[in-house]
C-alpha cells in the first residue's frame, strides 16, 4: 500500500481549500435535473405534482435540453456559494483547530455556520439567477426573462432592477447557508469519525464515505427545507415581496405547517446524490493528493 500520506495526528495534511467547490461542481452537473424539478415543485401551484410528474412535464414540453435549464447559473453558484462555504470551513479546520478537536461538535458547529453565512452571501447573486432560469419556462410568456446564461442574467438584473436585486432573499439564504453547512459538513465529519472509531470501518473505503454522506444528506434536507422553500419563493417573485418572516407566516396560515417541508422528497432525491457525490469527490481528491506538493 502507498505510504505517501503521513498518518501522524500531530501533523495532518492541509488539503487545498477548493476541494469542496470542485466536489460541488461535479455534483451539480450530475444532479441538475433533480434540482430543477425541486425548484419548480416549490413554486408550483396546488395541487402540486409528484417529482416524476414534474420531470415528465419538463421532458414533454422542453425535451432533454429542458432538464438542464439554468445549468450555467448552477455551476456559477457552485463556484461561489459552495466554494466559499467549504473553503472557509476547511481553511479554519486546517489552520485554527487542533487535530484532537477536529470532531468536536461544539467547535465545528459555529465554524460551519459562519462558513455557511459567508457562502450564502457570496453565492446569493448566482442563486437568484439560478432560480429564475430554472423556473423561467413555468411562467406566462409575457413574464419570462429569457436569460441567455448566468452572466447575462446578472448583467440584466443590474441594468433592469438595480444591483441590490442580486441580493434578494439574502436573509433566508444566509440562514440556509448556515443550516446547510452545519448539517452537511459537521454531520459528515462527526458521522465518519464515529464509523471509524466505534464501528471499526476503514476511513479510506468508499462505503464509509457513502454511509457518512447519506446520513449528512438526510440531516441537511430536513433542517434546510423551511429556509429553502421561503428562499425559492422570494427569489422567484416578480413584484415587491414582504420580508421572509411575514411571507412565511402568511404561507403557513394559508397552506399549513407542512408548507415549510414542501418538496422534501424531491429535495432529498436531489440533495442525497448531491451530498454523496460532493464528499466522494473530495475523498478521491484527498486520496490522490490532487493539488498538493508532498515532496520534502
Q: Are 41 and 59 in contact (CB under 8 A)?
A: no
Least confident of 69-73, 115-119, 178-182, 248-252: 248-252
pTM value? 0.82
User: CA-to-CA distance for 103 and 203, rounded, in angstroms?
Assistant: 14
**Residue bearing cell 416578480:** 238
Structure confidence at residue 247 (pLDDT): 65
Distance CA 73, CA 94 (A): 30
Of 69, 63, 55, 171, give the one whose Cα is nearest residue 129: 69
In the chain, the percentage of residues whose pLDDT exceeds 70 is 91
Q: Assign a CATH topology to domain 19-287.
A: Mitochondrial carrier fold (1.50.40)
Q: What pLDDT sits at residue 296?
A: 43
Domain ranges across the chain? 19-287
- Residues across the chain: 296
pLDDT, residue 39, reads 80
Q: What is the pLDDT averaged over residues 70-75? A: 92
Distances from the Cα of 79 to the Cαs of 128, 163, 219, 272, in angstroms? 14, 20, 24, 20
Amino acid at each position: 500500500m502507498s505510504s505517501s500520506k503521513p498518518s501522524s495526528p500531530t501533523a495532518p495534511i492541509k488539503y487545498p481549500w477548493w476541494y469542496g467547490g470542485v466536489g460541488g461542481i461535479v455534483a451539480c452537473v450530475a444532479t441538475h435535473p433533480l434540482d430543477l424539478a425541486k425548484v419548480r415543485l416549490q413554486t408550483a401551484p396546488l395541487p402540486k405534482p409528484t417529482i416524476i410528474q414534474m420531470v415528465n412535464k419538463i421532458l414533454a414540453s422542453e425535451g432533454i435540453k429542458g432538464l438542464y435549464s439554468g445549468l450555467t447559473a448552477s455551476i456559477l453558484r457552485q463556484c461561489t456559494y459552495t466554494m466559499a462555504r467549504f473553503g472557509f470551513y476547511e481553511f479554519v479546520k486546517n489552520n485554527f483547530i487542533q487535530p484532537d478537536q477536529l470532531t468536536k461538535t461544539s467547535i465545528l458547529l459555529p465554524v460551519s455556520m459562519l462558513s455557511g453565512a459567508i457562502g450564502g452571501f457570496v453565492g446569493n447573486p448566482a442563486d437568484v439567477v439560478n432560480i429564475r432560469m430554472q423556473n423561467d419556462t413555468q411562467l406566462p410568456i409575457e413574464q419570462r426573462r429569457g436569460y441567455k446564461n448566468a452572466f447575462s442574467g446578472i448583467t440584466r438584473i443590474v441594468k433592469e432592477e438595480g444591483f441590490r436585486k442580486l441580493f434578494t432573499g439574502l436573509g433566508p439564504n444566509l440562514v440556509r447557508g448556515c443550516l446547510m453547512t452545519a448539517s452537511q459538513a459537521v454531520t459528515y465529519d462527526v458521522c465518519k469519525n464515529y464509523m471509524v472509531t466505534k464501528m471499526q470501518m476503514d476511513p479510506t473505503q468508499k462505503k464509509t464515505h457513502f454511509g457518512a454522506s447519506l446520513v449528512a444528506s438526510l440531516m441537511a434536507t430536513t433542517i434546510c427545507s423551511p429556509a429553502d422553500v421561503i428562499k425559492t419563493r422570494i427569489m422567484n417573485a416578480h413584484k415587491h415581496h414582504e420580508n421572509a418572516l411575514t411571507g412565511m407566516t402568511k404561507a403557513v396560515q394559508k397552506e399549513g405547517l407542512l408548507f415549510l417541508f414542501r418538496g422534501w422528497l424531491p429535495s432529498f432525491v436531489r440533495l442525497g446524490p448531491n451530498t454523496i457525490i460532493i464528499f466522494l469527490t473530495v475523498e478521491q481528491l484527498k486520496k490522490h493528493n490532487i493539488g498538493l506538493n508532498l515532496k520534502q
